[in-house]
Amino acid sequence: MSGPVKIALVGLGWWGQKMLAVLGAAPDDIKVVRAVEPNVDAVRDLCASKSVTLSADYTDALNDPEVEAVVLATPHSLHTRQIEQAVAAGKHIFCEKPLALTAEEAARSVKLCADAGLVLGMGHERRWEPPVADLLAKADSGALGRIHQIEANFSHDKFVSLDRNNWRVKATEAPAGGMTATGIHLLDLSVRLLGRAESVLCICEQLSSDLPQGDTVATYVKFAGGGTSYVSASLANPFMSRFTVYGSKGWIDIRDKAHVEAPDGWIVTSAMAGGPIETVEIGKAEPVKDNLVSFARAVRGRESYQITAEHLVNNIALLEAVFASARSGQIEKVAQPVMESLGA
């Protein structure tokens, strides 16, 4: 097939509306033709202004022959079942993070998509931020040498004012503070750079809010192949996003100037062995759009999607261990998924 990939956007809350807005800038690659939102009255005018068919029922999108792929911006606990339904309907899937809340569910979803020949995209747009993409390329080329450590924080206070009945602040949907909201992105990048995690210690506390799952979380991850990652996140302090990688030949520190909801560029400080510490500013980009465009191009067979089955499952295995450690306060082992069954 040719032309833009026609998608149904499932969930038109905060993030669903963000994706709808940015996709207007990618008409050659991807097009929203349908939206699914239980609260239809809240978004009726928005969808009408975009000429997007709106309904409250997910099965309407799955039964629509025009829809080639679904984009899931839905509560975390729904992802596994919604992916299963989409695969049965022959639709490609782009899922907002996290893919699942357990490694077993993540492995099941990945295998279903692989066996059906369907592309599974993931809402880890941090990989498409220009300085992060450059960092990953440098790490892959060996320019940074052996990666020793990662230090990262992704915090914001956008959820403090949410109604406590909102799914985003429920402990059943988002255990361990901000780990599923923000920290999961940093776990993804850590797995991407250092491979499968071996163990993790997580401390989650409720320090300055009544958020039921806690507002401040810190994790220390040890990787099976060596190296460590310290990932922290708060849901109760002003925005901060930092990702720093230390290698034997150099280090790179990336700081976002604004939340990815409205990106405003990055400040990158780095040093290579024997050289000076340098700081540069990187201009604006729209990684949320770029991730979705990459997914659409993978659906069309024009490029390979960079988040692999192994990355997806290893990330959720680590996330599940983070949840366990947050409950126990102890170091927890990370499950080793059987990747052979996934074709990885």
Q: How many Å apart are CA 343 and CA 302, to the nearest integer?
A: 21
Amino acid 342: pLDDT:
54
Question: At a CB cut-off of 8 Å and minimum separation 6, what does 287 contact?
Answer: 125, 126, 127, 128, 129, 260, 263
> Does the pLDDT of residue 190 top 70, yes or no?
yes
Q: What would the mean pLDDT of 191-204 be, rounded to a whole number?
A: 97
Helix (H) or strand (E) holding 204: strand 197-205
User: Is residue 344 very low, low, confident or very high in pLDDT (cuts 50, 70, 90)?
Assistant: very low
> Does the pLDDT of residue 337 top 80, yes or no?
no
How far is residue 308 from each of residues 1, 84, 188, 233, 342, measured CA to CA in Å?
24, 19, 11, 25, 11
Give the up-direction half-sphere exposure of residue 152: CA atoms within 13 A in the CB hemisphere: 29
User: Is residue 138 very low, low, confident or very high in pLDDT (cuts 50, 70, 90)?
Assistant: very high
Q: How many Å apart are CA 197 and CA 282, to the nearest integer?
A: 31
Residue 332, sorted as left (phi over 0), alpha (psi -120 to 50) or beta, turns out to be: beta
pLDDT tens figures, 263-320: 999 999 999 999 999 999 999 999 999 999 999 999 999 999 999 999 999 999 999 9
Domains of the chain: 5-124 (3.40.50.720), 126-342 (3.30.360.10)
Amino acid 230: pLDDT:
98
- Cα 217 to the chain's mean position, in Å? 18
Q: What would the mean pLDDT of 176-199 be, rounded to a whole number?
A: 96
pLDDT tens figures, 36-70: 999 999 999 999 999 999 999 999 999 999 999 99
Q: Which of 14, 23, 51 is closest to 296 using CA atoms?
A: 23
Give the up-direction half-sphere exposure of residue 222: CA atoms within 13 A in the CB hemisphere: 7
Amino acid 168: pLDDT:
85
272 neighbors 153 (Cβ within 8 angstroms): no
User: Is residue 338 very low, low, confident or very high in pLDDT (cuts 50, 70, 90)?
Assistant: low
pLDDT tens figures, 162-177: 888 888 888 788 889 8
